[in-house]
Structure 1
């Protein structure tokens, strides 16, 4: 039995799916392994390559597969989307294929995690739609009836990523500081964040944040505190999530203006959509109110889309 591999490489984690060839529907019991994040702009292209190779090796061993059974590998990676990024990543992928003894005829797809996620989110019968991603980072992508691709966001955590886990975390830290100063409302976020970081006072955040350089995912993990506080009806946390939903709707509006119809399927992916009912409900409500399209739950996860994009052409 031959297989195609689909990889969803985010900033925090990477998921690798081994999909049986000729069974191109999402399986009830998927063969999946996971590893650390592989965004090359966060950890470097060489380190991303090492992590990707190690994860594929882990999957081959876990599912008792041979390299000769792999006929295609799809790499949907956060931070990849510009031609120069894809070219550099292609060199890394060739080294991975060589190191794993993959066939020289093994097909590959190298592109952004958003393209892979859109391919997975749309049902096999649908070719048109818009996908919004909110995980560690955020972005959106849409495919129109003429096959053209349109993107929005993806500017990274320093100048973009509105509505993402990283963005939520920064908002939470700001609200905690304001509450401590008496410039803002008291919030449950203070206790939840301090407990998560093993700190005692809000003032301790200064040393924690500025005392050393943090990887993007270390800050983004505080988004879980925002979600937990919102579930306890904390008004500050709810406001942060509603503002994030608004930012994500702006992504949809930008793409929808480029020739998409009002009945366009709009779907969402990423850990924030998965875990925050407040953000997801507010997002769907605004989509419907503004008449931007029709919300649909995603058909399958991004790694499935990456696998589909790696299928060799007959």
Structure 2
């Protein structure tokens, strides 16, 4: 039995799928393992290589697969969206192949996690489509009928990532500060956020936020406070989530203008879509109202898309 490996490497976790090479549909009982994040711009390319090697090796042992049975590996990695990044990662991948006794000529895909996610999200009958991702960060990617790839977003948390977990967290912090000053409406996000950070009063946020540098994911995790407050009908939280959904719709509009039809499949992925009913429902409503396409749930996860991209052509 031959296998292809599909890897979805994010900033906080990495998922590795061992897919039987003759299966082009997502299995009912997938062979999947997870490990720590492998975004090379967060942890360095060398460390990303070490983590990927350890994860693949663990998978080989867990599923009792020999390296000779692997005929392709797809690496869909966060932070790998530019040619120079792909070239740098190719050298790391060659080291992985060497360390795990894979063939140097093993078929491989090395690219962004968004491309792998798009491939996995669209069903096998979809010839074109658009995927919007909202997790720690945000971006969108689409494939047209000619196979052309179109991207929007992905500018990072300092100048982009609108509609993401990081975006929601900044909005939450700002609105909590406004409420404390009397410049804004009181919100349930205040006690939720203080409890999450183990702080006593809003003024403590200044010391916590500015007292030391914070990683992107540390700030982004505060988005759970917005989502939880929205579940309790907090008006401020609901407003933030709907505004975030509108930002994500703008991503779709940008790509849709590039020759996509009104019946294009539009789908979404990422933790924010998964956990926020308010954001997801508003997003779908706006997609339909603006007639940008037809919303469908994603067919399969990104690691499946990475595996498909690594299957050798006959």
TM over 0.5: yes
| Contact 1:10/1:136 (<8 A) preserved | no
SS at match of 1:11: coil
The residue number in structure 2 matching 1:211 is 211
Greater alpha carbon shift after TM alignment, 55-64 vs 118-127: 55-64
Q: Which runs of 5+ in 2 are unaligned?
A: none
Cα RMSD of the aligned pairs, angstroms, is 1.0
| Contact 2:94/2:104 (<8 A) preserved | no
The residue number in structure 2 matching 1:108 is 108
The residue number in structure 2 matching 1:42 is 42
The residue number in structure 2 matching 1:65 is 65
Deviation of the 1:105 alpha carbon: 2.6
In structure 2, distance between residues paired with 1:209 and 1:5: 40
Deviation of the 1:16 alpha carbon: 0.9
| Contact 2:120/2:306 (<8 A) preserved | yes
4+ residue stretches of structure 1 with deviation over 4 A? none
Q: Which runs of 5+ in 1 are unaligned?
A: none
The residue number in structure 2 matching 1:148 is 148
The residue number in structure 2 matching 1:158 is 158
1:160-218 per-residue CA deviation (whole Å, 9 max, x = no partner) reads 01011111111111111111111111111111111111121112222221222222111
Deviation of the 1:247 alpha carbon: 0.4
| Contact 1:81/1:111 (<8 A) preserved | yes
In structure 1, distance between residues paired with 2:115 and 2:5: 16
SS at match of 2:126: coil
The residue number in structure 2 matching 1:171 is 171
Greater alpha carbon shift after TM alignment, 209-218 vs 76-85: 209-218
The residue number in structure 1 matching 2:239 is 239
The residue number in structure 2 matching 1:8 is 8
The residue number in structure 1 matching 2:197 is 197
In structure 2, distance between residues paired with 1:220 and 1:4: 33
SS at match of 1:25: coil
The residue number in structure 2 matching 1:87 is 87
